[in-house]
Structures are given as structure tokens and as C-alpha cells.
Structure 1
Amino acid sequence: MKRGKGMQFVGDSRISAERTSQIPKDYSEYPGRTEAFWPNFLLKEWLVGSVFLIGFLSLVLAHPSPLEGVADPTTQGYIPLPDWYFLFLYELLKYQFASGPYVILGILVIPGLAFGGLLIAPFLDNGPGRRPPKRPVAIGMMLLALAAVSWLTYESAAAVDWEQRAESNKPIPPSSVEIDTSDPGYAVYENSCIGCHGGELEGTGAGPALMGTEHTAEEIADIAVNGIGGMPADMFQGTDEELEQLVNFILSVNEANE
């Protein structure tokens, strides 16, 4: 054999390869360190949120907004108030930076930032720690929001005289006045007088009560045509027959409810 012919050089390189399993280890191997996101972690978050939601709904049901008296557009001193759980926003709109020409800040920008903070809170506080000292961003935002809502609600409620408000807004009990709506005079009354004197002749802020009137038929007819006191003339635009029906209706209601 000639030199270099018929010879082959073979290299052999052996490296030990350990095949590791791709199956993750069980969570039981890390006691107290971690837990499955679903359902363990998420279920706890849902339970905490459900307890808060049920508690808030129970509070709303236990303290509902009270019914007030019949709305009177002629009342000058009445100040409407929202439900107690919206008093903080009502108080916020009283401040100069959130009212007047800056009302957009109060009704859109500030509430939008508050709710937007709830959306971005998970991204601002994405650390592994669960204890409050290790979650300064989330805990700080929560405490700030809670303090702001509590203070604004207190300030709004402290400025209201609740006793006087309850006294002046007592619900009106159901009336026992019997009205014959089939009476032809009722149709005349409904077209000409009901807006100022009420559906049951009880009177409103714009006109006195016709129940218990001491006027005679002639006086009632004269007042309807010519007016009296703050009532201007020519308020009644009907015919003489309709005027007679109106007078008879008013007198008949008074006689039936004596």
C-alpha cells in the first residue's frame, strides 16, 4: 500500500446529553412561594371583589334614597341633591377648578383619570410581592381614592340641613278627594285650570286651592273671566256654556267632599 492511499481518518467526539422533561414541576414542590393563576389566584381575587360588591349593594338597599314631595317648578329655595353615593362627585363640581368654564375637567377629565388609573394600575404595580409594603403604587392609589371620596362626601353632607330638608319634603299622602272625570265640567277644568289649581283642586305654587272655596257660583264665574289677585284676566277662553259647566263642577266637587 502506497503512503496516503486507502487510509481514512475518523474523528469521534462524544458529549453526554441529558434530556430534560418539558413538563413543568408541580406547584407542590414550591410550598408557599407560588400558586397557579387559574383557578387559585384568580378565584381569590374574585371572592374579595364579590364580598366588596355584595357589601356595597347591601348598604345601598339598607339606605335607599328617600322619596320627596311633589316637584314644584316655582319653588325658589329647593336644591336638588344626588344619591348619597354620588355626593362626592356633586361636591367636586363645586370647586372652582371643576366648575364654570372648567366644568369639562370636573365631569370628564378628573373622573376619566380616576377610572383610567384603575385600568393601568396592574401595569404600574406588576411586581411579584403581595404584601402592602411591597405594593406602594397600588396601595397609594387606593388610599388616595378612598380618602378623596370620603372627604368630599363628608363635605357635601355637612353643608345640608337634613332636618329642614326632611320637613319640607315630606311625601304627600294619597288624597281622598273624589273627582268625577265623566263630568263635562271636568274636561273644561282640565283644559283651562288644572295647570295652576292641581288635578284634585288642591292648588299648586301657581294658584290657590279650590277645595273649600267660599265663593258663590257668580263669583267663581267672574274670577274665571276677569281674574283676581295674581290671576290675570282672560285666562278662561271657553264659551258661556263651558263656563257654567266649570262652575258647576267646582261646586259639585266641594259638596261631594265636605
Structure 2
Amino acid sequence: MHKGKGMKFVGDSRISAERKPNIPKDYSEYPGRTEAFWPNFLLKEWLAGSVFLVGFLCLTLAHPSPLEGMADPTDAGYIPLPDWYFLFLYELLKYDFASGPYILFGILIIPGLAFGGLLLAPFLDKGPGRRPHQRPVAVGMMLIALVSVVWLTYESASHVDWEQRAEANKPVPPSEQADIDTESEGYAIFENNCMSCHGEDLQGGAAGPPLIGIDRSAEEIKDIAQNGIGSMPPDQFTGSDDELDQLAEFIVSVNEQE
């Protein structure tokens, strides 16, 4: 300011000359394009999550997951399987391009590209629309991922007899465990021919059902050992006829103790 010359003001471009009150937008001006987060959007999300949670709980009550016994590190015939939500990765490792010398593709590269693509989907498709046909890249990648996971999980689960596996690996109370004479000749024959599938205590394994609690005669047991039954192939017994008689009598004697 100079004397006799009036007053001069210096403006700051960072300060708006027009004051705007801190009032939220009137969403009625944008019908169908946006909505208030509280309570409209949050209430819809909560209702959708509640419906999914109730449906999932009903499914678990109607079809509970089979539980197995405690892990036994001495059981060499046990085949571990991942939980159901990892079965699609387990199935992926069965293909030639993701196993053997290409195992790194199955455990690192392919899953990394898949999950990385899903993370990048919102950045690859920046369209303003919210309908599926307006977001082709993001919706297409999500559909491919969903179909792949569902198909691989179905393929993996269809090759496993879950009921037989649960029955073979269920916990056995001490009161139900049979007293097995491991020094007998019949047990030695069982050890050489049957233990790899039916377990050292006859309680079954991943490849065979338990031999305790069965109601079969010695003749039926010999016939099954030679000709097979169900998923058990024939000619599994490689001993002589006398050894087959001893094996059948041993299994019958174990079941007579109960």
C-alpha cells in the first residue's frame, strides 16, 4: 500500500473465491447412477451377506464334512488330501503341463497369473458402467476363474469315495480295538499281502476298508482275496492255498473277539 495511491490486494489462486458449503450431494439428481452409502448401500450388502451366510450354514448342517481320525505317521498307506477349498489346486497338479518337470508352473506361475489377473481386473476395465455387459474385461475374467475353480473341484472330488475314506479313517475308540496276535502265522501272511491297503491293525486305510467288524465266513474271505470285490481287483493274494486258509482263519478269529 502506498500513500495516496489507494489499496492493492494480492490474490492467492489456491483459495477459491466461491465458498461451497459442506453439504452432501442431492442424489435425486442422479437417478440409478449412485446412491448413499449409509444406509442404502450398506443395508443391501448386509442383506446379501446374511442370505449367503444362512444358506451356507444350512448346507453344512445338511451335508457335514467327514472327519477323520488323528494323524498316524506310521501309516504308510495313508493318502492325504487338502480341504475342499484347495481341491482345484490339487487337481491342477495332476495335469502334465503343471506337474513333473513343470511343477513350478503348477504351484507358482499358473496360480500367480490367475490371482494376479483378478487383482488387475478393476484397473484393466475402468468403464463407468455397473452392468455386466458394460464391464466385459472384469466380468469375463471373473467368469473364467469361477468356471475353472468349479470344474477342477468337481473333477477332483468325483474321483474320491468320501464316505469310504471317512469310514476307513474314522477314529476307533480303544474299547473297539481288537486284540491282534502279531506273532501268529496268519498275521505274517496278512502283513505280506494285505497290510498295505487294510492297515497294520486291520482298521483299514486309504486304499482298503477295515477288516474288523465284518460278518463273513472263511470261504467268503478266501473268495474275495482271490477274485476281488468292489474296487478291490482280483489276484491280490500271492501265497499258497495253505497260507490262504491261515489268512482267512486269522481274519475270522479277529472278528470273533468282538
Relative to the length of structure 1, the TM-score reads 0.50
